[in-house]
Every structure is written in structure tokens, then in C-alpha cells.
Amino acid sequence: MTQVIKTDENGVFTYCAPWPGWWGFAALKTDRKKMEHQGALKDVELGAVIWMEFTAPLKR
């Protein structure tokens, strides 16, 4: 499943997982610089991933 989440100007976001499990969040950005590959200039994508485990709510 892929979902798009927007951030504020500082990159801060909030999220509520629809069900328990491991969820990965990827931050992607295209760099202003280009890289040469096989004689052509190509876009460079910068990114990072953080994995988080969401557990079911505790019952009282």
C-alpha cells in the first residue's frame, strides 16, 4: 500500500496507522544537480527511509 503524506515547512508530519504492523516512511527529493550516465544528464533523487512498528492499542 502506498499513501502520500504532506509535511510542514520543517518536514514534520503526523500519521495514524490504519492497522498494526511495520510501516516504512520514505522522504524523497530531486537534487538540483544532474549526474551524467551513458552520455546523458540524469536527475538525481535523494532519499531516506525510516521503519516504525505500530502496535495495537492497549486494552484497559
* Residue 5 within a domain: no
Does any domain span residue 4? no
Give the single-character DSSP code of 38. T
pLDDT given for residue 1 in this prediction: 67
Q: For 2-60, what is each residue's pLDDT tens digit? A: 778 888 999 888 888 888 999 998 888 899 999 999 999 999 999 999 999 999 888 88
Distance CA 47, CA 11 (A): 13
With respect to residue 37, please indicate whether it lies within any of the assigned structural domains. yes
Q: Is residue 49 part of a domain?
A: yes
Q: Is residue 60 part of a domain?
A: no
Q: Is residue 47 part of a domain?
A: yes
Query: Is there a domain that residue 27 lies in?
Result: yes
In this structure, what are the phi and psi dihedrals at residue 3, rounded to the nearest 5 degrees? -130, 145
In the three-class reduction of DSSP (H, G, I as helix; E, B as strand; rest coil), residue 19 is classed as: coil
How many folded domains does the chain comprise? 1
Residue 42 belongs to domain spanning: 21-54
Determine, yes or no, domain membership for 33.
yes
